[in-house]
Homo-oligomer: A and B are copies of this chain.
Amino acid sequence: MKKMVEYNAPKRDYDFLLNEVLDAIPIVQNLGYSEFDKEFLSMLTEGWAEHVKEVWLPINQLGDREGLKFNNGEIKMPEEFKIAYKESVDAGWLSTSCKTEHGGMGVPIFFQTVIWAEFGTSANMALSVLPALSVGVYEVLAEHGEKELVDYFATNMASGKWSGTMCLTEPHAGTDLGMITTKAVPQEDGTYLVTGTKIFITYGEHDMTENIVHLVLAKTPDAPEGTRGISLFLVPKYMPSEWKSEGLSGVSEELNTQHNGVTCSGSEEKMGVHASPTCVMNFEQSRGWRVGDLYNGMPLMFEMMNRERLATGMMGIGLAEIAYQNALSWSKERRQGRDINGMQEPNEVADNILVHPDVRRMLLEAKVNNEGCRALAAWTGILLDQSHSNDKEEAEMATALVALFTPIVKAHFTDLGCETASTCMQVMGGAGYCTEYGVEQFYRDVRISKIWEGTNGIQALDLAGRKVTENLGKNLRHLLWPMTDFINENKNIPEMSEFNKPLHQGVRGLQQLTLLMIAEGQANPHFLAAGATDYCRYFGNVLLAYMWAKMAKVSLTKKGEPFYDAKIASARFFFKKIFPETVGLAAKVQAGHKSLMDYPVEMM
């Protein structure tokens, strides 16, 4: 029963979420996207779904098998990847959210952040990373770069002609960036010479674009110690050939064929994403420009990082979705055993495996978590747009919620993504473990998402130690207000009670756990840090519960139509078979830190 990898982008689901659950169109029209309507959104979604299915998906397995070739400082990508990338650039698909004045499509941010990201990573995660990084670099430049940097570099990033990277990690400094030693020495003409070694640089070197624009964290000679002394620099692989210290204005796009002291000295062999280069980058007196203020590197990098954290969270959904679709499709054709309650198809040699409760459990865990995460992602995407609103209250609310949701989207979606890929492999038994069925690649590829852009442990600490408490708990209040309203509104609606009651319990539990974390954490920060991961998962489940209750609410008004009946059934499955894990998580948070911190570490 050999099969090609299948993929159909969940367009109907986004239609439901954006138009029926979240009312995205009036919100973004109100933000100034006056011509962005339902039809245009639908056209974009359809177009991108078709593009990734036809251009990206067919080369995904090839990318995994062939990978990239590192030779003498150069990385050669598979020829098919270069062709696909160019096709996407030419069709304008890599710059949907970039501003029109920079050559982008200028549509609301949520399209790129959510729909683009999910479909792209499903179809070809390794390829999707390149434009995702470029857009991140573009946004930092467009927001904070001097005009000449924007004009010269950002526009070329917007189109996808050039690509970008984030250069943070050094061999001894990953999570702890305060220790970086890369130096940036100011020159008389206002530029800097950057010297140092960076590791784990995604697409640090490749031959898909003419130039590569690195955003590099470095320290100037007299910088303060630690993260307070870090600044951000733009360092291109190739300098403009006409550049001569007088700035970039009027300089042509022709590039100096001698690289700018930027070399790649190695590429990591990894478990997955074989067609996404992971480079050791050496900067040797490399010419660069400072982006933003001196010593303001960390906040700028965090702007980009937060964007990439959401993008990484979407990889969790993207890979889980394609794994689910292929496991489901396999299940539909597989016959083994009989329904334990009595055979269903006596004329067949065996019943279809979907009659088995445990097979359904696995597939529904996958489906329901995917759809719940997708709903939260869609909401987060719209909030990202709203965070730029001119209405101060709207912007404040949206900024608070995006801050709160970012670590959860990153950590919970990627945890679930890895679990779901595993569950889908399990559905397929031995076939799932074999290369030809494709799911094992998703299992390997998605695993990096728990590590990228700050490990999930770091996300949990960011949530529990910062996002929940900052500004006296304002972020959390912006969530609890609408959730409490929703719960109260539905209290007396009988058919909502199976969803509303457990949601209510979950929200109450979240409030209690949060108070516990804050109170105990003040006395002993180890308490907070020891419970952070379980707290983050608890929180993620409560958000998904809220999403499922909202989806059920909408769907109950349209009962009888199969799509909505399935949503109600999914909500039911969520509350019965997924949400109960919160009880155990709460107990683990409450169990505190002593059993960890009193452990005789020399005996580990």
* Contact surface of A with B, Cβ cutoff 8 Å: 1, 169, 171-176, 179, 199-200, 268-272, 278, 328, 335-337, 340-341, 349-350, 354, 356-364, 367, 418, 422, 425-426, 429-430, 432-436, 440, 443-444, 447-448, 450-451, 455-457, 460-461, 465, 524-526, 528-530, 532-533, 562-563, 565-566, 569-570, 572-573, 576-577, 580-585, 587-588, 591-604
- Min Cβ gap A221→B in Å is 19
- Tell me which of A465, A583, A592 has the highest count of chain B C-beta atoms within 10 A of its own C-beta: A583
User: How many Å from the CB of A554 to the closest CB on chain B?
Assistant: 16
A592 contact set on B, CB distance < 8 A:
576
Q: Which of B426, B528, B533 contacts A455 (CB 8 A)?
A: B426
Q: For the complex, give the distance between the alpha carbons of A197 and B460 in Å.
A: 51
**Inter-chain contact B440/A363, CB cutoff 8 Å:** no
Q: Distance in Å from the Cβ of A113 to the closest Cβ of chain B?
A: 24
Q: Which residues of B contact A526 (CB under 8 A)?
A: 340-341, 357
Given contacts A174-B336, A336-B175, A358-B461, A455 and B434 within 8 Å (CB-CB): no
For the complex, give the distance between the alpha carbons of A268 and B173 in Å: 41
CB contacts (< 8 Å) of A461 on chain B: these are: 358
Do the beta carbons of A460 and B591 come within 8 Å of each other?
no
Q: A584: which B residues are within 8 A, CB to CB?
A: 580-585
Check B350–A176 contact: CB distance below 8 A.
Answer: yes
Q: Which residue of B lies closest to A430 (CB)?
A: B200
Question: Contacts A584-B583, A604-B363 known; A448 to B422 CB distance under 8 Å?
Answer: no
Q: In the complex, what's the smallest C-beta–C-beta distance from A556 to chain B, in angstroms?
A: 15
List the B residue with the shortest CB-CB distance to A601: B354
Distance in angstroms between the alpha carbons of A440 and B1 in the assembled complex: 29
Residues in B with CB closer than 8 Å to A593 are 357
Kindly report which residue of chain B lies nearest to residue A525, judged by CB atoms: B340
Contact for A435 among B171, B269, B434, CB less than 8 A: B269
Among A171, A361, A598, chain B packs the most CB atoms within 10 A around the CB of A361
20 contacts across the A-B interface (CB closer than 8 A): A175-B336, A176-B335, A176-B336, A176-B337, A269-B434, A328-B604, A340-B526, A357-B532, A359-B457, A362-B457, A364-B596, A364-B604, A426-B450, A566-B603, A569-B599, A569-B603, A573-B595, A577-B588, A580-B591, A581-B581
